[in-house]
Structures are given as C-alpha cells and as structure tokens.
C-alpha cells in the first residue's frame, strides 16, 4: 500500500522540549516537504528537500530543523526555540520537486502542555 | 515576492447553489494546481492546469486557467454536502516549490 505515513497522529510537547515528527514515503519520490497549518489558515512551508542529504528553508523555518539521510524519510524536529508550536503539521512528497503534484500525509496535530 | 492570492476566504452556500473560488498571481505561472482538504483531513490533489485558457471538468467541478496564465478559477455546480471543505490553489512559478493560496473554506447549508 503506497503512500506517505506521518506519525504520531497527535503529539504533546512540554515547555522547553524538542519533539520529532516522523514522515515516511514509499512512493520513490525525490522531493519532500513540511508545512504548518494553523486553524482556519493556509499552508506555510517550513522546509523542503529535493534530494537526499540536501534541504532548504521555507518561509517559516525558525524554530524547526530537518534531516534527509534517506530518500524515504524526512523527519521534522520542533525545537524549544519555536515558541508557538501548536498547529497541524503536514508532510508531502512529489516526484522531483518544482511544480510537481504533491501528495500529503494525514498530518500530525501538535499541542503544548 | 511570488504570491498567489485566493478569494473569497469563506463561502457559505445553500445546498444546490453554485460556488466559485478564484486565484490570482501578479506573475505568469508555469502551471496551477487545485487541492481539496476535507474538515480534519489533509489536502488531496484535484487537477493541474498547464495551458493558457485551459478548461477542465470533473463531474460538477469546472477548472479554468486564464489566457495570461496569471489567474484560475474553480466552479462547482449544484453543490452537495460532500463538497464541504477548503479548496486551495497552488501555483508553480518555475522555482523549486509550489506556492499555495490561502484557501477558500466552503460550508454548505442543508
């Protein structure tokens, strides 16, 4: 069953804690993306990667970090520097980036305790 | 910067009425895509428009790409409760990523 898997579905963060959101795809896509969505708002790009071991900042990268050690995986760490992390986080992938069609995971809802 | 403006932000319609959302860019797009996000769900790709003046239909949905490739619209005829959700356009400016519009949230009054 091909697709994008995000885990966990719900996540709670304590003050000063770093948390990592998982995103795995078995579509053999080169490009992967992380978006943040606040209630009733659009999609804001956090980071994206077009190839293994390379990634670029999006529009709101501050307080977040990523890695791309494997083609299939693009984990996002929400660091303690991100003061307002409560949001819905969406991971997506596309065949090769640019204007390619993007396929989204089911998302992770992050809340602060 | 490269932005895609989408209007309206919200639209409430009676079931059976039509609905239209519009996207506008200040610069020419290589292509434009439309996505639908159901409440509590994730965006799902609907369609991609590439050619100037292109019109595509999917059942009750009609998608248009402007002649100048700077604007696009999505029109739904005779809305149904299954049409509820947020509709996003996403523009390709020829760089490394898509630029998503702010979305139009459609609610249906039964």
pLDDT tens readout for residues B32-68: 999 999 999 999 999 999 999 999 999 999 999 999 9
Q: How far apart are CA B63 and CA B65, in angstroms?
A: 7
Q: Look at residue A15 in the predicted model and tell me its pLDDT.
A: 85
CB B101 within 8 A of CB B23: yes
Chain A residues with CB-CB distance to B35 below 8 A:
102
Share of chain B above pLDDT 70, in %: 99
B63 forms beta bridges with B56, B74
Q: Look at residue B90 in the predicted model and tell me its pLDDT.
A: 97
pLDDT class for A1, splitting at 50, 70, 90?
low
Chain A residues with CB-CB distance to B96 below 8 A:
48, 50, 56, 97-98
Location of structure tokens 């606040």:
A38
Look at residues B87, B59, B105, B76 and name the one whose alpha carbon lies nearest to residue B17. Answer: B76
Q: What is the average per-residue pLDDT within B7-35?
A: 97
Q: Look at residue B13 in the predicted model and tell me its pLDDT.
A: 97
Q: Look at residue A98 in the predicted model and tell me its pLDDT.
A: 87
Q: Of the candidates B30, B31, B88, which has its C-beta nearest A42's C-beta?
A: B88
pLDDT class for A2, splitting at 50, 70, 90?
low
Is it the case that residue B1 has pLDDT exceeding 80? no
Q: How far apart are CA B78 and CA B61, in angstroms?
A: 10
Q: Look at residue A29 in the predicted model and tell me its pLDDT.
A: 97
- List alpha helices for chain B, DSSP H: none
Strands (E), A1-113: 4-7, 10-13, 19-25, 31-37, 43-51, 54-57, 64-66, 76-78, 87-94, 103-104, 108-112
């Amino acid at each position: 069953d091909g697709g994008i898997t995000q885990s966990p579905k719900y996540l709670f963060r304590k003050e000063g804690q770093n948390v990592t959101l998982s995103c795995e795809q078995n579509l053999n896509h080169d490009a992967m993306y992380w978006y943040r969505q606040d209630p009733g708002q659009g999609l804001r790009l956090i980071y994206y990667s077009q190839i293994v071991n390379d990634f670029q900042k999006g529009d709101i990268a501050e307080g977040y970090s990523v890695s791309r050690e494997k083609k299939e995986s693009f984990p996002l760490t929400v660091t303690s520097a991100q003061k307002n992390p409560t949001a819905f986080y969406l991971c997506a992938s596309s065949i090769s980036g640019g204007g390619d069609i993007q396929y989204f995971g089911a998302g992770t809802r992050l809340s602060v305790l | 910067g490269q932005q895609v403006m989408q209007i309206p932000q919200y639209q409430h319609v009676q079931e059976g009425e039509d609905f239209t959302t519009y996207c506008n860019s200040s610069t020419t797009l290589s292509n434009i895509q439309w996505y639908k996000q159901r409440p509590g769900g994730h965006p799902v790709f609907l369609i991609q428009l590439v050619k100037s003046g292109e019109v595509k239909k999917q059942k009750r949905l009609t998608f248009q790409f402007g002649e100048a490739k700077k604007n696009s619209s999505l029109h739904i005829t005779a809305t149904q409760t299954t049409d509820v959700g947020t509709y996003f356009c996403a523009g390709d400016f020829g760089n490394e990523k898509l630029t998503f519009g702010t979305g139009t949230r459609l609610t249906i009054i039964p």
